[in-house]
Amino acid sequence: MNTVKIYQLTTLSPTQFRRLRDAQMEAAQVWNCCMEAHKSARLTHEKWPGRNALQKVTKGRFALHSQSVQMVVHAFLANVETTRQLRKTSPHMKMRYPYKEKRFYPVMWPAQAVSREQGRVVLPMGKGRKSLVLPLDLLETSRSCTLVWQNGYELHVCVEIPQADNAPGHVHATVDLGEIHLAAVTTNTGKAMIVTGRGIRSLKRQRNQQLGKIAKKQARCQKYSRRWKKFQRAKNKHCRRAERRIRNQRHQATRKVLNFCVENEVGSLFIGNPHGVRTRNNGKHHNQRMALWEYGKDIDYLTHKSKQAHMSSFTGSERGTSSQCPSCGHKHKPRNRQWNCKQCGFKGHRDLVGSVNMHRLAFGEQVEFPRSFTYLRPSPLGKVGGGQTRPNVV
């Protein structure tokens, strides 16, 4: 099984920085070439160009390694196929095929093109061109590499990691993702856990406040002046630091979810997709909170970690699960974190209500509401309140 290890390229010389920038601009030209060929075929109602046609159009025209050009072509075709599937399954999403030109695009090198030489990694740029040499000591299991801009250049390296031999067990579990509580997990055996996401939300707010202060000062400077560039470097520094901290907390939170599943012998995991909540327009404050909610990354992290644990996982819509009483089926929208049923008097945690109702959608079974749950935070300390469980009924 493969995972991605990120290397921060913070010690680049001006010459190396320019070469990386030019490489990404060249990769963008490859994408634009594919986009123009595909767009022209769509407008003239001709047969869409496939892999062989696009590789023939882009062959020998760009200052990149031939396999790097091919990987951009493959990425473009994968984008087209994903859009085609979404237009069929979700017509309300109004997905569009690629139509805009890009200025920069990540540069990719396959495993056979990457070489390591005494604490350095050599990335070829094609015949007759000097290779990119970066001072990085890659792992022995490293494979393909991708050059990415994330408020600074990063090298994303695909690394092979061990995978579990057998599934932990045969228990079913569901995960309800949220903006305040990152994940609420319940099993069909009566176990439950909640991992809070308040730390991630506070980091995002702190980042936005710091960027707002710097942008206010930068607006008084002449664009591209030395002082303007100084503020721009400060913004990139704050963004990189915040992204590292947020990514670390997201990894810790999703790891706690998977550890809980392994301890309770979960073999099948359902991850609810809250896309419908985000697309609803409920005012600028709600829309801003939803825009900062990166539930797609949570789904990716949980899917990747469950695969590593040899646990089957799948995702689907969670529509209506948080607004229905798990006891009598009465529907209403709760106003706070506590779900109080007006019909039968049921009381319980709102996020656990959604997770319990997902069992009926995912596995076709109705499970009992857990009597207590464990409340965790994504930090090395682990459990809140000395690791004690909290009752669901108040």
55, pLDDT greater than 50: yes
22, pLDDT greater than 60: yes
Q: CA-CA distance, 235 to 216, in Å (whole number)?
A: 12
Q: Which of 139, 202, 177 is nearest to 315 (CA)?
A: 177
* Segment 97-106, tens digit of pLDDT: 999 999 999 9
Q: What pLDDT score was predicted for residue 389?
A: 54
Q: Which CATH superfamily is domain 171-199+239-391 in?
A: YqgF/RNase H-like domain (3.30.420.140)
**Average model confidence (pLDDT) across the chain:** 89
Q: What pLDDT score was predicted for residue 380?
A: 55
Lowest-pLDDT choice from 243-257, 272-286, 343-357 = 272-286
Q: What pLDDT score was predicted for residue 146?
A: 96
Mean pLDDT calculated for residue range 52-71: 94
Q: CA-CA distance, 199 to 324, in Å (whole number)?
A: 28
Q: What pLDDT score was predicted for residue 391?
A: 59
* Segment 102-142, tens digit of pLDDT: 999 999 999 999 998 888 999 999 989 999 999 888 887 88
Q: What pLDDT score was predicted for residue 392?
A: 59
| pLDDT above 90 as % of the chain | 62
Q: What pLDDT score was predicted for residue 94?
A: 80
Mean pLDDT calculated for residue range 49-57: 94
335, pLDDT greater than 90: no
* Segment 252-291, tens digit of pLDDT: 999 999 999 999 999 999 999 988 777 777 788 778 888 8
Q: Cite the residue boundaries of each domain of the chain with CATH code 3.30.420.140.
A: 171-199+239-391
Lowest-pLDDT choice from 29-38, 52-61, 342-351 = 342-351
